[in-house]
Structure 1
Amino acid sequence: MREFGYQRAHDVPGAVAVLAADPEARFLGGGTNLVDLMKSGIERPALLVDVRELPLDRITVTGDGGLHIGATVTNSDLAAHPEVRRRYPALAQAVLAGASGQLRNMATVGGNLLQRTRCGYFTDVSKPCNKRVPGSGCPALSGEHRNHAIFGASDSCVAVHPSDMGVALAAFDAVIAYETADGAGESAFDDFYRPVGDTPHVETALPRGALITGITLPPAPVAAHSRYRKVRERASYAFAIGSVAAALDVEDGVVTDVRLAFGAVASRPWRARAAERELLGRTADGAAFAAAADAELAAAAPLVHNAYKVPLMRNLVVALLTELEQEATR
């Protein structure tokens, strides 16, 4: 591991100023991803700026009935918060589905958004990888890609984003707040992750040196009727091979509101807007749920060894929406 400096930030402007002055510095939250990447030689920062003591560790109800989540809130605290569990249960379930209890105790909300892919070619510095070394190639295209993307990929990269939390945030139209040396800014979740294209190493729309300060979830009554379902290759402590965050409101047997987002299928948490459009105003039954899933999956472009994700995601959508519909009509 490369030698590096360490500095503890005591306020947001001070933290941002350090990165503005040193492009080789990185913010350190829980370190559950960054430190691993440093050990493997993928990340080589000259300086770590510890932001854990910044006053960004609160979850508050906003004036309009949404939630604001500070960037240094731990994943464990997020999942346990009573307002998260009541207003956005799929978010609490998604967080609990990720990692282990020990890691959730350390990992932060802001860091979760910025975690990088676990593609084996990315994490092995002896292999080429366009995300790690632009222009070096993507061996996953013809190599091991069983767990890779079926949406939004390109000839430059087919890796998937590993976050569970992010899938629920995508479903509920989260807004990400950040601070830079030039002032505060924010990004809608839909715009936060950059399309892969031919620049997979440029992963987010954050300005250079920006510090994520929090996430706002707008009020969404439908979110109270939500669930998260994750499929993985072993029972615990494994990344998803497919996941769905779903929320459903039904009145008189008709879908009046619906939210759907997919995980482990793209380079970013994937909002299933085609499925939502197909389902809104339809009779809430298995046929409609399957048609909605098919509408979204029509755009899938699987590779040779990950085509199983198409029926997997279809079945997940139908099963989860059926559970929500049955719950709504009890």
Structure 2
Amino acid sequence: MGASETVIGRGWNDGNRLDRGPVRWMVRLAAGFVLVLVVLGLGMGAPGEPRSVSSAAEQAQQDAEGRFRALAAQVRGAAVDDPSTADLLGALATDLDVQADAVALPWPAADGAAPAAATGVPGGSPPAGAAPADAQSVLVRLRDSAEQSLRDAVTAEPGPARVLAAAGANQWRHAVLLGEALDVDPGLPSVEAAVITGFDRISAPRSAPAGEDCTGTEQASDAERLALESARLAEEEARYGYEVAAALMGDPAPALARARLHGDLANAAARRLGALCVPVAAAPPAYAIDAAFRADPAAALRELEQDGAELYAGLVSTVGPGGRGWIVASFNAATQRSLAAGTPLDALPGLRVDVP
């Protein structure tokens, strides 16, 4: 490989490597805003007298908090009744507590009194629908909550959108794990097909002029264009990485299948750029592969998937509701691939928060 080619590995920044500088600046700015939101949620989200909401987005936030707290109560009840899934359900309940605190609107405490413990829905009443539930009914409610959280992330304000998307991705993974433990299908759609088709179950595809109808004027905002271009090049890079890994592994079929998937995802991003009248530049023809990649291709591929998930995580907060549906679906798909490859499951994937 020539000196001008890109090296695939951590800290890659030379040659044909995707320049994510502008994206990283946007992502860091958005991440700082989201972190402030989460800190406020963790410190002020304990339920007391609820304040009135001023928008549909705030109502969705309030509904999500109540849903997470009610589901956590149901999960804990199911864990007592089903010891075989107690560990899985216990971890899920803990994650739901974190998510409820993170998404909560500030609830004012009366006359300076300390807010009530965060154990129910806003207002201090018992969690709605907290009747005893078995593990299978929890699975159904968990699946529905995951999809609802992702739908809400599409139309929420930037900070809450990131929290809702992360909560939805976490609940999605928990639903997969619980379904495996119960040996039942959780009933979730294919995350990969959803990205390619626009994920109609999360949000309707955005209407845009067909490529042949473009008049030379781009229909995308700068943030949306940058997000789609960054996503396309990241998927092209992942495609190449899997193609190389296929030649280094004993069984090349899984890596080749994943390479085709990433190629399809890159093409999906390119089609969206074209539909928005944005010229699509050619992808780099090749990337250099460093020694660490060749020594442990499985670990390198896991890092590739984690990098992709983190990229999409930041983009959720940088794109407005009009173009966010595809980004949310892509974030969820990338997160599920990263988690399936061995990345530890956090309560809010892609959003690092130290919880007391």
**TM-score bin, normalised by smaller chain:** under 0.3
More strand by percentage: 1
TM-score, scaled relative to structure 2: 0.25
Q: Specify the structure having the higher radius of gyration (Cα).
A: 2
More helix by percentage: 2
